Amino acid sequence: MVIPGFNLVVGGSVFILIDAASDVDLVGNLKVEVRIDRTTRLEATYSPASGYYGAIWDSSALPSGTMHSLTAEVCDSAGNSKSTHAIVSVG
């Protein structure tokens, strides 16, 4: 999976990309969710043009210099799930 990497400085609209696949479901049919600091939930949608699931996080209201946890979780129709996370700071 791909999300902004660890220790990146982000700001404004942050494009979060997730590369996800399953042995059970076709690409594009997975449920992909992004959590920011374990509270804000964003549903990622699949783009056939890029081949990635994507979500946009508006970080503009957050103070500069603060660190935040981004977690992407992928679930298939059989209930299998996998997640990955990164820590970023707002600049």
CATH of the domain at 56: 2.60.40.10
Model confidence, pTM: 0.85
Q: Note the pLDDT of residue 63.
A: 96
Range of the domain at 61: 8-90
Q: Note the pLDDT of residue 26.
A: 85
Q: Note the pLDDT of residue 7.
A: 77
> Is 1 within the bounds of a domain?
no
Q: Note the pLDDT of residue 2.
A: 63
Structural domains of the chain, count: 1
Q: What is the mean pLDDT of each run of 10 residues along the chain (91 residues)?
A: 75 93 88 94 95 95 95 94 93 93
Q: Which run of H or E residues covers position 2?
A: none
Sorted by sequence, the CB contacts under 8 Å of residue 91 that are 6+ apart come out as: 9, 10, 11, 64, 65
Q: Note the pLDDT of residue 21.
A: 87
> Is 31 within the bounds of a domain?
yes
Distances (CA, A) of 38 to 25, 42, 69, 77, 91: 26, 11, 7, 23, 20
> Is 3 within the bounds of a domain?
no
DSSP 22-84: -SSS-TT-SEEEEEETTTEEEEEEEETTTTEEEEEEE-TTSPTT-EEEEEEEEE-TTS-EEEE
